[in-house]
């Protein structure tokens, strides 16, 4: 499953902050499908094999700097709410 988000940040944002934000978006997307990070299995306790598919160690997020020539196609109608 894949999700695309457009976000605008201040110029002083760090790569670590963007990595964390991308992870949070990926986590929210996965949870919307009932998939949770492997680390949550320990928090929730041993639930049995029937819940094995509810956990994944492969939830990933990434980010890219906005380039209108490459990324406008991701927005409905090719329009985004912010400008260069």
Tell me the pLDDT tens digit for each residue of 4-36.
Answer: 777 888 999 999 999 999 999 999 999 899 888
Task: Give the three-state DSSP class for 27.
Answer: helix
Residues 45 and 10 sit within 8 Å (Cβ to Cβ): no
Residues 59 and 26 sit within 8 Å (Cβ to Cβ): yes
Q: Is the pTM of this model over 0.85?
A: no
Distance between CA 34 and CA 54 in Å, rounded?
6
Distance between CA 42 and CA 56 in Å, rounded?
12
Map tokens 């260069």 to a residue.
Answer: 84
């Amino acid at each position: 499953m894949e999700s695309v988000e457009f976000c605008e940040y201040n110029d002083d944002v760090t790569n670590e902050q963007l990595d964390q934000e991308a992870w949070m978006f990926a986590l929210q997307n996965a949870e919307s499908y009932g998939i949770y990070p492997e680390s949550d299995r320990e928090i929730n306790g041993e639930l049995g094999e029937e819940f094995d598919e509810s956990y994944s160690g492969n939830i990933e997020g990434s980010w890219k700097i906005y380039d209108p020539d490459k990324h406008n196609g991701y927005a409905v109608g090719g329009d985004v709410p912010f400008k260069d």
